[in-house]
């Protein structure tokens, strides 16, 4: 068995973890809303038409914030279409996904749903086909107490108290030519600046996220951030990052190394924020919102066929990736990467939450089940709160096509308010188990521990409605703990959560 060592100290701290890094995303896309969270004819539907079985799976993930209503969708969306009597709401062609949006679910209904799941809304405004005026109006509608056109409209629509939405996205992926109203960095930066100013004049308590690059692979990545921030730095609070990974060739070691790219992306964007801060002689710190991240590639071919056969239909089953075991391992490493960068990443959204590139799947009229990626996300959200610790990991490493020095053991650790310590570790080694030696002496007595493990001999193993527990966590082999030192066996290709409690 190979060996690795992890040294922790309660004073080696990365930073406080903002719980919003365990956020997710619901877009009006595919069956995320219609046939996902909302299906009034389903036997599990509640009085508002939301599926109780789906809400229960979401609650178990403890998602503090949900980005809404898009995504690419938002760049052609008129928020006014989605409020008021449902029977009077217009049906619209959605040019982002070539489907028809009925607006049956809008802001009021979605806020009811997030109330049930214990989440807050992160609301995106349309800076594609619209601009600062409509963004100002929706802040007034959502957050102003009363006595103005839009706040009174909200009250007339049945919501006396403001929604109190605290976090707002200034558009979506405005660097991408696929986006309705695509802009250059300078054009977007100017609009983002004016929009942020006006939104904050309506409600000074809000925070806003400016669009960074839609991927680190965009040709404009870097210049986009620098030019855009040069226009709006003082008025924005976060820059967004989006990144999806894929494994079309079946290169598992190369695929599992992709979180190194995510780490480099985060560090580059943080550096760019700080570079602009320096040029402006500013004291204002702009942090990061990694508000779209996941694996995404399994459904691409099926989607092309759907658009050819069923364009403009409602709630097409788009982007329905079926996630396998190796996807769960990479998602685990992406969560580790977010925790490692907790000093700069304050918001992150697993994209998305239900049916659309999602940890939760449903069948119309049928069941709801957890995909493989559900579990690492649930573990990190549940146990990865408090303080991110700077774990020193000594591990053998490997090389693959795009990276050298890829650690076989990818690990980080957190400490909660009660002093309990949780280690998250992915073993990327396809051949070997590891004996992981942990030095925990600085924490004093940690009497009990638990080892949660996800492993499958088949990297392509999936969960389905018929076999929903094919890939699920089990108790791990554990090891020995004494005098502040532990030795735990980490099986080959596995996701591990090792919890030491006071
Ligand atoms: O999450 C799916 C899509 O991916 C989003 O609508 C868009 O922002 C990104 O390109």
Could you give the count of Cα atoms lying within 13 Å of 378 in the half-sphere of its Cβ?
20
pLDDT band at 29 (very low <50, low <70, confident <90, very high): very high
List the structure tokens of 57. Answer: 């799976």
Q: What is the CATH number of domain 18-383?
A: 3.20.20.80
| Mean pLDDT for all residues in the chain | 97
Yes or no: domain 2-9+389-501 corresponds to CATH 3.40.50.300 = no
- Ligand 1 centroid–CA 178 distance in Å is 10
Find the mean pLDDT for residues 26-35. 98
- Ligand 1 centroid–CA 94 distance in Å is 14
Ligand 1 contact, 172 CB (< 6 A): yes
* Spatial contact of 337 and 286, defined as CB atoms under 8 Å apart: no
Ligand 1 contact, 24 CB (< 6 A): no
Rounded distance, CA 208 to CA 246, Å?
Answer: 30
- Catalytic positions: 173, 292
List the structure tokens of 321. Answer: 């990736």
pLDDT band at 165 (very low <50, low <70, confident <90, very high): very high
- Ligand 1 centroid–CA 182 distance in Å is 14
Pairing type for strands 360-362 and 368-370 reads: antiparallel
Q: Which of 288, 258, 297 is nearest to 349 (CA)?
A: 288
pLDDT tens digit string along 77-133? Answer: 999 999 999 999 999 999 999 999 999 999 999 999 999 999 999 999 999 999 999
Nearest protein CA to atom 1 of ligand 1, as residue: 351
For residue 289, give every residue at least 6 positions away whose Cβ sits within 8 Å of its Cβ, in sequence order, or none.
169, 209, 238, 239, 240, 241, 345, 346, 347, 348, 349
Alpha-carbon torsion, ordered 250, 253, 259, 264, to 10 deg: -110
Nearest protein CA to atom 6 of ligand 1, as residue: 71
* Spatial contact of 3 and 435, defined as CB atoms under 8 Å apart: yes
* DSSP single-letter state for residue 284: P
Could you give the count of Cα atoms lying within 13 Å of 471 in the half-sphere of its Cβ?
29
- 0.85 surpassed by pTM: yes
pLDDT band at 273 (very low <50, low <70, confident <90, very high): very high
Rounded distance, CA 265 to CA 491, Å?
Answer: 29
* 369 CA to centre of own chain: 19
Residue 418 predicted with pLDDT over 80? yes
* DSSP single-letter state for residue 51: B
Rounded distance, CA 13 to CA 15, Å?
Answer: 6
pLDDT tens digit string along 176-194? Answer: 999 999 999 999 999 999 9
Ligand 1 contact, 351 CB (< 6 A): yes
Residue 482 predicted with pLDDT over 90? no
* Spatial contact of 395 and 436, defined as CB atoms under 8 Å apart: no
pLDDT tens digit string along 43-63? Answer: 999 999 999 999 999 999 999
* Spatial contact of 202 and 139, defined as CB atoms under 8 Å apart: yes
For residue 250, give every residue at least 6 positions away whose Cβ sits within 8 Å of its Cβ, in sequence order, or none.
none
Position of tokens 């000093």? 343
The CB density around residue 123, as the number of other CB atoms within 10 Å, is: 26
List the structure tokens of 347. Answer: 């918001």
pLDDT on residue 434:
97
pLDDT tens digit string along 1-25? Answer: 999 999 999 999 999 999 999 999 9
pLDDT tens digit string along 380-395? Answer: 999 999 999 999 999 9
Domain ranges within the chain, ordered by starting residue: 2-9+389-501, 18-383
Nearest protein CA to atom 8 of ligand 1, as residue: 71
Nearest protein CA to atom 5 of ligand 1, as residue: 71
* DSSP single-letter state for residue 29: S
């Amino acid at each position: 068995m190979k060996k690795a060592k992890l040294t922790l100290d309660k004073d080696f701290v990365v930073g406080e973890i903002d719980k919003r890094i365990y956020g997710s995303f619901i877009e009006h896309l595919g069956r995320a809303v219609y046939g996902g969270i909302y299906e009034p004819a389903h036997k599990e539907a509640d009085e508002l038409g939301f599926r109780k079985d789906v809400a229960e799976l979401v609650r178990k993930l403890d998602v503090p914030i949900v980005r809404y209503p898009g995504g690419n969708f938002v760049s052609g969306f008129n928020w006014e279409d989605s409020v008021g009597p449902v029977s009077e709401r217009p049906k619209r062609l959605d040019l982002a996904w070539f489907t028809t949006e009925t607006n049956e679910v809008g802001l009021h209904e979605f806020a009811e749903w997030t109330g049930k799941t214990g989440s807050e809304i992160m609301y995106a405004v349309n800076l594609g086909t619209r601009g600062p005026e409509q963004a100002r109006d929706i802040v007034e509608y959502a957050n102003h107490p009363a006595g103005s056109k839009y706040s009174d409209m909200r009250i007339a629509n049945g919501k006396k108290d403001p929604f109190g939405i605290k976090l707002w996205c200034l558009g979506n992926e405005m660097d991408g030519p696929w986006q309705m109203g695509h802009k250059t960095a300078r054009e977007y930066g100017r609009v983002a600046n004016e929009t942020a100013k006006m939104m904050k004049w309506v409600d000074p308590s809000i925070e806003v996220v400016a669009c960074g690059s839609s991927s680190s692979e965009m040709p404009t990545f870097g210049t986009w951030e620098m030019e855009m921030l040069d226009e709006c730095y003082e008025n924005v609070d976060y820059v967004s990052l989006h990144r999806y990974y894929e494994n079309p060739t079946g290169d598992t070691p190369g695929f599992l190394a992709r979180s190194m790219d995510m780490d480099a992306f985060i560090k580059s964007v943080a550096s760019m924020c700080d570079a602009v801060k320096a040029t402006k002689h500013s004291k204002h710190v702009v942090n990061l919102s990694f508000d779209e991240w996941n694996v995404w590639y399994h459904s691409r071919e099926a989607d092309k066929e759907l658009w050819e056969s069923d364009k403009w239909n409602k709630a097409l089953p788009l982007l329905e990736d079926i996630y396998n075991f190796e996807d769960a391992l990479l998602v685990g490493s992406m969560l580790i990467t977010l925790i490692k960068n907790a000093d700069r990443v304050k918001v992150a959204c697993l994209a998305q939450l239900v049916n659309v590139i999602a940890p939760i799947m449903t069948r119309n009229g049928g069941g709801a089940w957890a995909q493989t990626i559900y579990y690492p996300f649930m573990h990190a959200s549940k146990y990865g709160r408090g303080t991110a610790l700077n774990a020193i990991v000594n591990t053998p490493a490997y090389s693959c096509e795009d990276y050298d020095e890829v650690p076989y053991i990818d690990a980080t650790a957190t400490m909660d308010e009660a002093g309990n310590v949780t280690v998250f570790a992915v073993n990327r080694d396809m051949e070997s188990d590891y004996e992981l030696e942990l030095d925990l002496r600085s924490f004093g007595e940690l009497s009990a521990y638990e080892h949660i493990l996800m492993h499958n001999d088949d990297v392509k193993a999936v969960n389905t409605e018929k076999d929903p527990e094919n890939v699920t966590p089990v108790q791990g082999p554990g090891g020995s703990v004494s005098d502040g030192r532990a030795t735990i066996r980490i099986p080959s290709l596995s996701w591990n959560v090792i919890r030491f409690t006071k």
